[in-house]
Amino acid sequence: MIGGGYVGLVSGACFAEFGVEVAVVETHPGRLESLRQGRIPIYEPGLDTLVAANIAAGRLSFGDDIREAVAGAEAVFIAVGTPPRNGDGHADLTYVFAAAEQVAQALSGYAVIVTKSTVPVGTSRRIAEIVRHARPDLEFDVASNPEFLREGSAIADFMRPDRVVIGTDVTQDGGSERAQEVMRRLYRPLYLIEAPILFTSLESSELIKYAANSFLAMKISFINEMADLCERVGGDVHDVARGIGLDGRIGRKFLHAGPGYGGSCFPKDTLALMRIAQEAGASSRLVEATVQVNDARKASMGARIMSACGGSVRGKTIAVLGLTFKPETDDMRDAPSIPIVHRLVENGAAVRVYDPVGMEAARASMPERVTYCADALDAARDADALILVTEWNAFRAIAPARLRDLMRGRIVIDLRNVYDPAAMAAAGLDYSSIGRPS
């Protein structure tokens, strides 16, 4: 497994749990050092136990020597980052191609080189070219096996997936059968639980990943627009989401209105799909609209908060609960909290923040002048307004009366619709949420 980040680490540990011997190669010295000491450098529920158990069982190891790691390997997964390339939104494939080159040099016998990173259509074929060029003598196949796990529920998503997608080179006579066989053996435990395992061409597999993320992003942008409409015409977005979601053709999931989607994947993968379509001369207007709606939504949260605070936050103390892009992760990439907190600080507010696990990771993207608090109630103390940005479970249990007693002001802005408007009003709080009557 090349790369020990969210995907490499989780899939490496899960394959090891399936009984496969996994060697994870990680080049970041800090990450590798913590992994070697049994410390997980990211927050992902259950991952520390899973990693420790599989290290103890001798099935999972970490190192930076690629030659050692791939010796005798039947499959080598590339699970390195594919961030947006500076300026143009294309996926930056520098790490993927560098890894392919290193794998080519290190392999001594047949292996399937599998792309687990999210990569544009055509990348697996380019990897095959790189390897062929570097090692004309080497027997190998390429495969595409995109990962659909979500941060925060990554282990369950990997172990009980809705589906597994495996792309192989269907144009190569017989060549893909060997690769398919290796992949089938790796995923054997999932056949036993009857998870659908879909074999496709390399191109379809690569496209499925971008299409899935873009479709989910589109659902979120859609419900966010409906939330705005509810606010204008007097509706409740929860009822609308339930009412449409119960139609099996639409589905209930991913219809939670909020401050706009963030994270390391939806924002970059929607942009990348637009670029892929553009280069292919195809239309991607729905995805473009999805991105525009989301960008506008994230940018509009600051104005929403200012207006709820009476038009200005200058000199006011604002508590912000939740900084990570979603609960149960410490990932701050593209988190909606970032533009919100910056806007508040720029407009003269004193901002007190709290996140259950993301405080350390948040420091790099927060403005300098924020106060990091010990817990949610500490953040609320003497605040003129409180904003809930990320729906950590710990925040759901806070009693409205407790907030009222601790806060100096009465304003509560709930960007995730966690609280009950009636209970908030009964406690005397001036409560507003997303797409619901306050």
Binding residues for substrate: 148-151, 209, 254-258, 262, 326
Per annotation, catalytic residue among 14, 265, 309, 373: 265
Find the shortest distance in angstroms from Cβ 286 to ligand NAD. Answer: 21
- Does 117 bind ligand NAD (CB under 6 A)? Our answer is yes
Q: Which residue is nearest to ligand UGA (CB)?
A: 265
Residue ranges for the known binding site are 31, 82, 118, 148-151, 209, 254-258, 262, 268, 326, 333
The question of whether 265 is a catalytic residue gets the answer yes
- Does 43 bind ligand UGA (CB under 6 A)? Our answer is no
Cβ neighbours for 150, distance < 8 A, ≥ 6 positions apart = 157
User: Which range in 27-35, 171-179, 403-411, 428-436 contacts ligand NAD by CB under 6 A?
Assistant: 27-35
Of 18, 28, 244, 372, the one binding ligand NAD by CB under 6 A: 28
- Does 392 bind ligand UGA (CB under 6 A)? Our answer is no
Residue ranges for the known binding site for NAD(+) are 31, 82, 118, 151, 268, 333
Q: Which residue is nearest to ligand NAD (CB)?
A: 5
Of 104, 121, 149, 241, the one binding ligand NAD by CB under 6 A: 149
Q: Which does 258 bind (CB under 5 to 8 A by kind): ligand NAD, ligand UGA, none?
A: ligand UGA
Instruction: Give the closest residue to 419 by CA, choosing from 24, 103, 438.
Output: 438
Of 61, 82, 214, 270, the one binding ligand NAD by CB under 6 A: 82
Q: What string marks each residue from 250 to 289 as x (binds ligand NAD by CB under 6 A) or -?
A: --------------xx------------------------
Report d(CA 322, CA 341) in Å as an integer: 11
Of 151 and 169, the one with the shorter C-beta distance to ligand NAD is 151
Report d(CA 229, CA 226) in Å as an integer: 5
Kindly list the distances between the CA atom of residue 132 and the CA atoms of 64, 69, 92, in Å, as whole numbers in the listed order. Answer: 24, 20, 22
Q: What string marks each residue from 107 to 136 as x (binds ligand UGA by CB under 6 A) or -?
A: -----------x------------------
Q: Which does 99 bind (CB under 5 to 8 A by kind): ligand UGA, ligand NAD, none?
A: ligand NAD
Find the shortest distance in angstroms from Cβ 297 to ligand NAD. Answer: 21
Q: Which does 121 bind (CB under 5 to 8 A by kind): ligand NAD, ligand UGA, none?
A: none
Number of residues interacting with ligand NAD: please give it, by CB under 6 A: 27
Of 61 and 213, the one with the shorter C-beta distance to ligand UGA is 213
CB 26 within 8 A of CB 32: yes
Q: Which does 145 bind (CB under 5 to 8 A by kind): ligand NAD, ligand UGA, none?
A: none
User: Which range in 22-30, 219-227, 378-386, 419-427 contacts ligand NAD by CB under 6 A?
Assistant: 22-30
Cβ neighbours of 216 (radius 10 Å): 19
Q: Which does 81 bind (CB under 5 to 8 A by kind): ligand NAD, ligand UGA, none?
A: ligand NAD
Find the shortest distance in angstroms from Cβ 399 to ligand NAD. Answer: 34
Of 97, 148, 215, 372, the one binding ligand UGA by CB under 6 A: 148
Q: Catalytic positions, please? A: 265
